[in-house]
Structure 1
Amino acid sequence: MRKDELLNAAEELLADQGAACLTLSAVAERAGVSKGGLLYHFATKEALIKGLIERLIADFDELVEAQGEGSYTRAYLAATMAAVRSGRLRRWAVVTGAAGDPLLLAPLREAMARWHREGMESEPDPMAAQIIRLACEGLWDVATHDPGIYGEAQFEELHRRLLALLPNP
């Protein structure tokens, strides 16, 4: 079994039953593998949570990079909109909720700091760029707790209005 399949099983378990039910045995059962098969990839629950967090960071980094040309803030906004619309950000709430130990969240805090510093020196209006990135954070939070809060037209309007805050490229 691949690591991603084990991480998917852990995310599903978290989404369905909450952090209190995240045990290595429960993840192995959900994934349909022996506990030994899970332990081969993740020796501890903390290692599993670390793997979940590292995957979240890598997924978002890839999404930002896939947005192509333009400023980092434009790519960050487009990536956020894509992630929220697809439901990919729902995993942020369940994974970070499982990481009760602040040390486990250190890589995520570091990634968030990097995302907020990235490309700022080349932004024509760094404060507008910071406002956009903070608005994205708020959208992540709202959409992870109530995925159906906005329809497609509202997402389009939010995206359009946030882009309007940035100087034209």
Structure 2
Amino acid sequence: MKREALLGAAEAVLLEHGTQALTLNAVAERAGVSKGGLLYHFPTKEALVTALVSRVIAEFDELVARYDEGSFTRAFVEATFAIIADPGGERSERRWAAITAAAATPELAAPLREAMDRWHRREEHEDADPLTAMVVRLAAEGLWEVVAHGSGRFSPEQYTALRKRLLDLLG
């Protein structure tokens, strides 16, 4: 079984049953593999959570790079909406699952904190107004939170309007 499928099984356990249910046995069962098969790829629960967090960070960094045409904040907004406005919601749920799994252990959450610091404390001169750029990134981050907690599944039209407004703020 491939690592990605095992990570998907871990996310499913987290989404359906919460962090207390995330055990290697539960993930192996969900993935339909032996515990030994899981341990080959992830020898500990911490290794599994680390991989969940790394995947979320890499996925977002790849999207930002894809959208970056000279403005990091524009790329950040585009990448955010590419994930949260996706009708399936899989990538948005993936982010929630990884953050939730890592939240209880500072060492596991450290890579996510470092990525967030890198994303939100960007000091490059690519945005015309750095303060507005920061406000836009923080607003996009807040939208992640609303969507993650289930209280904000918006219509496609609302996502489009929100995306446009945030980009318009950048000038």
Give 1:24 deviation, angstroms: 0.3
Distance across 2 between alignment mates of 1:67 and 1:123: 14
**C-alpha separation in 2, matches of 1:124 and 1:68:** 15
Unaligned runs of 5+ in 1: none
Q: Which residue of 2 aligns with 1:25?
A: 25
2:52 is the counterpart of 1:52: yes
Residue pair 1:3, 1:41 contacting (<8 A) in 2 also: yes
1:94 is aligned to 2:91: no
Counterpart of 1:112 in structure 2 is 116
Q: Per the alignment, in what secondary structure is the counterpart of residue 103 of structure 1?
A: helix
C-alpha displacement of 1:68 = 4.2
Q: CA deviation at 1:32?
A: 1.1
Once the two structures are TM-superposed, the CA of residue 20 in structure 1 deviates from its matched residue by 0.8
Of 13-22 and 144-153, more deviation after overlay is shown by: 144-153
Hey, which bits of structure 1, 4+ residues long, moved more than 6 A?
none
Post-superposition offset of 1:70? 3.6
CA contact (8 A) 1:71 1:119 kept: no
**Equivalence map 1:78-89=2 (5 Å):** 78-86=78-86, 87=89, 88-89=91-92
Corresponding residue number in structure 2 for 1:122: 126
Give the aligned CA root-mean-square deviation in angstroms. 1.4
Report if aligned partners of 1:120, 1:129 keep a CA contact under 8 Å in 2. Answer: no
Following the alignment from structure 2 to structure 1, what is the Cα–Cα distance between the partners of residues 76 and 136?
9
**Aligned pairs, number:** 167
What is the percentage of aligned positions where both structures have the same residue?
Answer: 53
Q: Give the TM-score taking structure 1 as reference length.
A: 0.93
Q: How far off is 1:94 after superposition?
A: 2.1
CA distance in 1: counterparts of 2:12 and 2:151, whole angstroms: 16
Name the amino acid aligned to 1:160: K
**Residues 90, 143 of structure 1: 8 Å contact kept:** no
Q: Equivalent residue of 1:97, what SS?
A: helix
Give the unaligned 5+ runs of structure 2.
none
